[in-house]
Amino acid sequence: MNIRTVNENGIEIAIIESSDMLIYDTQSALDLIATINYQTGAARFILSKSALDEKFFDLKTGLAGEVLQKFINYQAKAAIIGDFTIYPSKSLRDFIYESNHGKNIFFLPDEQQAIDRLSQI
């Protein structure tokens, strides 16, 4: 895992680059939040959707809701970047829509849009 940071509008944002799956259960989400905060001091970060277990995108597993709750509890904000149009689930599309209108987790197509969104809140 490689972590680089950008400062946009006075807000530190960590950008995580990894070829490994980083979030596969709630504990791994907590570990990632703690690691990013410890190494960079940032409470906002960007990661690729490939860093999440595919079961995250199957809402029936409950993983997405559990992870989202951890982000809220630990006051972390994240943007997950990638192509989400490949998922046919209406429930997932609704979840992404609601998340993108919230304040903690965003699903965006690219890094620049993620930086823009995370630096505005």
Q: Where are the domains of the chain?
A: 2-118
Contacts 24+ apart (CB under 8 A), 98-104: 99/68, 103/77, 104/68, 104/71, 104/72, 104/76, 104/77, 104/78
pLDDT in tens, 7-41: 999 999 999 999 899 999 999 999 999 999 999 99
State the pLDDT confidence band at 121, using cuts at 50, 70 and 90.
Answer: low
What pLDDT is attached to residue 75?
93
What CATH topology corresponds to 2-118?
Transcription Regulator spoIIAA (3.30.750)
108, amino acid identity: L
State the pLDDT confidence band at 2, using cuts at 50, 70 and 90.
Answer: very high
